[in-house]
Amino acid sequence: MIPNQPPPAAVIFDMDGVLVDTNPFHVQKWEALLREYGIAFDREALPQQVLGPANDPTLRHFFGDRLTADDRLRLGEELEASFRRAFAPHARALPGVERLIAACHEEGVSVALASAAMSKNVFFIVDALNLRARFHAILTADEISQSKPDPEIFTKTAQKLGLSPSVCVVIEDSFVGIEAAKRAGMKCAAVASTFPAPELRARTQADLVIQSLEELDLERLQGLFSLL
């Protein structure tokens, strides 16, 4: 961050639903798994149940005590390998992502990625998008002990950047992700790529709700800190 520059000092991106439109593929992999094991589920409720949290608590939610920790680890690996195969031909950044990252670099604002996905998925995607070198810090599910909505992933990202959470803004799309960002003491811009904007406004404490990152620029993010 340039001295005397207004915050944010860092923009922290979630990955699924923010950098890339992976969410339909994640829902499909869960539908296939649950059908394979004869687990009943509600198709309308499934996106909110599986988008945002890590695999382990989601597997425990659906399978209860039927799975050991090793079983959950194995199924999680299988789920994500299936996802990578399905998503590979479709890997492209959502509109507005590359422009916002470039603006951050031009203005001396740190850029980070904080995703509840496993490292294999995260680095698979950032490499497919040629974005790995554009992030000053990347944090994945493999480096945390608590899943969103716990704020651990965001507080650790701020620590990696050497910044106070109070000067960071998170871009999220999920209910649990938004809650985690606010619990970390950060500003949060919610993008309505996964859930409708009216629901995000009504059910979260997001500081800003947008339809697409094409609507977002650094000036608008700076405005979130105007009351500091």
Closest by CA position to 114, among listed 66, 176, 61 = 176
In eight-state DSSP terms, residue 112 is E
Q: Which residue has the higher pLDDT, 48 or 181?
A: 181
Residue at 107 is within a domain: yes
Which residues have C-beta within 8 Å of that of residue 85, sequence separation ≥ 6? none
Residue 215 has pLDDT above 90, yes or no: yes
pTM of structure: 0.85
Residue 99 belongs to domain with CATH number = 3.40.50.1000
H helices present in the chain, as ranges: 23-36, 46-50, 55-63, 69-87, 97-106, 119-128, 152-161, 175-183, 197-203, 218-223
Domain count, the chain: 2
Residue at 2 is within a domain: no
Residue 228 has pLDDT above 70, yes or no: no
pLDDT single digits (tens) 25-75: 989 999 999 999 999 999 999 998 998 788 899 999 999 999 999 999 999
Distance CA 148, CA 19 (A): 18
Closest by CA position to 182, among listed 192, 193, 191, 172 = 172
